Chain A
């Protein structure tokens, strides 16, 4: 029994039925196949995995991280193979992805992305740095200064893929019941208005709609991503924009944007930034946020001035994607209950769902394979906090990212020499490399001391790219091997020991606190050997250390956080059922 006829459920059914045609498989879907994110996403079948290589390596080791990434790359090819084999007409074109850099800060992130790939043994065939000319040749957005290119992505018409997959699944003997909502899942049973359906294995493949299942409200947070599509653009416009191979495209800003050239000559373009809704609520009304559509249209016009002052948008839409508390996708089967799951793709699901489906097919059939040994298998993400902390955590993250982008954008326009990553490169790393000095360079005294003593950093600096990016690989490995996220209880124990009081939110790589002040915060950080952050002084990726040297203070940030706090006060009035 599979609950959900999106990519996850259908890929699972496809491979399960293919591996064992004698199995009796039924898919229950509350609306129609492809109703959720599968029918509304950006159409990137990519090797993107929501957890970075470095984060995977910290948790599971370098080899596991590499295996995960290589498998994701192979997954893109596997989807292409099935599309061809099943004759699914979904405008598949494996043109790769170009990610643009339009500011110094974004260029820094492009270089860091390539550096990270190289550190893990991925070569130019997997990702390469583009200079301004190379990037513009692929995607001639305004002010392009460089970027990266990876071939591991295909543009696809996502709804045709999911609808074609549903037909392929039926050809393999699987039954799909649409308009059949499941309200609860428990061991051996799924509850529907038509009655209780029993099966030895039940797969939860509901992603952004998971909080609607009884008892699952805190399993996944539904975060909205919205999209626009233009009218078909004339050939002369495309001649100026590029994307000749239908490369999917994005840029290195913090808030995720994504686009593709559709087979019928439109730009389909989307982005995060819509608010998370209190209580993990999902509603068709949230699919349409006029301010977000206006922002997408504005960004599209900034990227491609050739579209003119009135970007010709013909379609707007959106929908929820699923985010686990630790922002980690996972797949698994609990043999004791027969309950299986996959999800938490954070929007990178077009490819990842295929891997989930193949993995679930192996798990359900009791096969131990290379896929079932991957690090995301049987990973248990913690539950999200009860409201209002959940609301605070999700929306604070979204606001921090958008604030950083706005700050960088203003910096680019007004004070380009003030960009700190560029200055860092000129001032130390660049000069150091140019001097061919073999002595290691460190940003923090404790890092140098740790290196000299052959131990992992003892002051909790590991994990901040702007601190660690110049450390020797040997030292990084020591820190990777030593790293683990503290539990919430461990943080609270340290706070109790020191006599401090603060709310606590543990996220991968750092712990949010509030009101401790810098000295107390450092004391906690040194006790835990882990990054301790203040919610009002977040780390802006690209900034050097805790100080925002060279970054203009965003005048809107204080206002935004005041709004967060104000809404938090209102939010406590709303109950949470789990």
Chain B
């Protein structure tokens, strides 16, 4: 198995793990009607001003 492919699989697993962890936080979060996939974080390359 190529390293690149393994990395992709690994990343997917990590996202899946994170979603699973959020679902396990409460009965309520386990029964929302949407996936708990995180929204994109703040891009990490710049200081920002609003």
- A residues sitting closer than 8 Å to B (CB atoms) are 1, 24, 26, 28, 31-35, 39-40, 43, 89, 157-160, 163, 176-180, 192-200, 227, 229, 264, 266, 268, 287, 314-315, 317, 319
Interface residues on B, range: 20 to 34
Q: Which of B27, B33, B38, B41 contacts A315 (CB 8 A)?
A: B27
Q: For chain B residues 22-44, which have a beta carbon within 8 Å of chain A?
A: 22, 24-34, 36, 38-44
B18 to chain A minimum Cβ distance, whole angstroms, is 8
Tell which of B24, B31, B48 touches A157, judged by Cβ atoms closer than 8 Å.
Answer: B31
> Is A39 a contact of B25 with CB atoms below 8 Å?
yes
Residues of B within 8 Å of A157, CB to CB, are: 28, 31
What is the interface of chain B, defined by CB distance below 8 A to chain A?
A: 22, 24-34, 36, 38-50
B42–A315 CB distance below 8 A: no
Q: Are A39 and B44 in contact (CB under 8 A)?
A: no
Q: Are A179 and B33 in contact (CB under 8 A)?
A: no
Interface of B is mostly: loop
A-B contact pairs, 12 of them (CB 8 A): A89-B33, A157-B28, A157-B31, A160-B33, A178-B39, A180-B41, A195-B46, A227-B26, A268-B27, A317-B24, A317-B25, A317-B26
Which one of B33, B40, B44, B48 has the highest number of Cβ atoms from chain A below 10 Å of its Cβ? B48
Which one of A28, A178, A199, A319 contacts B25 once the chains associate, using CB atoms below 8 Å?
A: A319
Known A43-B28, A177-B41; judge A24-B50 contact (CB<8 A): yes
Q: List residues of chain B with CB within 8 A of the CB of A287.
A: 25
Asked if B40 and A177 make an inter-chain contact with CB atoms under 8 angstroms apart, the answer reads yes
Question: Would A197 and B26 be within 8 Å (CB), given that A89-B33, A177-B42, A192-B42 are in contact?
Answer: no
New contact pairs (9) apart from A40-B26, A194-B46, CB-CB < 8 Å = A32-B22, A32-B36, A43-B28, A159-B26, A159-B28, A177-B39, A179-B41, A195-B45, A197-B49
- Given A157-B28, A178-B39, A179-B38, A35-B49 contact (CB < 8 Å): no
B38 proximity list for chain A (CB < 8 A):
31-32, 178-179
Point out the residues of chain B lying under 8 angstroms from A32, CB to CB. Answer: 22, 36, 38-39
Would you call A26 and B25 a contact (CB within 8 A)? no
Q: Would B47 and A196 count as touching, CB distance under 8 A?
A: yes
A176 touches B31 (CB 8 A): no
How far, in angstroms, from A81 to B5 measured CA to CA in the complex?
49
CA distance A168 to B44 in the complex (A): 26
Asked whether A315 lies within 8 Å of B50 as measured between CB atoms, the reply is no
Answer whether A180 and B22 are a contact pair too, CB < 8 Å, given A163-B32, A315-B30.
Answer: no
On whether the beta carbons of A195 and B47 are closer than 8 Å, the reply is yes
Q: How far is the CA of A160 from the CA of B27 in the complex (A)?
A: 11
Contact A159 B41 (CB under 8 A): no
* Docked CA distance A197–B48 (Å): 5
User: Known: A163-B34, A199-B49. Contact between A194 and B26, CB under 8 A?
Assistant: no
Q: Assuming the A-B contacts A39-B25, A40-B28, A157-B28, are A197 and B50 also in contact, with contact meaning beta carbons closer than 8 angstroms in the complex?
A: yes
